Amino acid sequence: MNNTLTPSEKSLLLAVSENDASKVKKLLADPEVRANLNLDAEDKNGYTALMIATESGNVEIIKNLLIAGADPDIPHYPIGITAWDLIHNRKRISLVFEESIKEWYNKIR
């Protein structure tokens, strides 16, 4: 877990935690922000932006993070759960949603 976040990383993690899809999209589109942004940076609890978005079930944010290059296979320290695991385990996210996200992600790889 990295405790030293750039302002860009802090802004992205905050926007995702606030479930603000338009702010996330704006941050990801800003070249200055992207230059100082590790999409897989972890918050103080070891969660990446993609993990946080998955917990909230916000499909738009999840897709935007995946398009931007966020890695869904990074394990959360210390328990080892990934964003894919979170998608699979969320009861309110249906199997159809899970499969459509995986299918869509495999197309952009």
- Domains along the chain? 7-108 (1.25.40.20)
Contact 55, 86 (CB under 8 A): yes
Contact 20, 49 (CB under 8 A): no
Residue 79 has what pLDDT? 77
Cβ neighbours around 13 below 10 Å, total: 19
Contact 83, 99 (CB under 8 A): no
pLDDT in tens for each of the 109 residues of the chain?
456 899 999 999 999 999 999 999 999 999 999 999 999 999 998 899 999 998 888 888 988 998 899 988 888 767 778 887 777 666 555 555 666 677 767 777 6
Residue 98 has what pLDDT? 63
Residue 81 has what pLDDT? 82
Contact 62, 36 (CB under 8 A): no
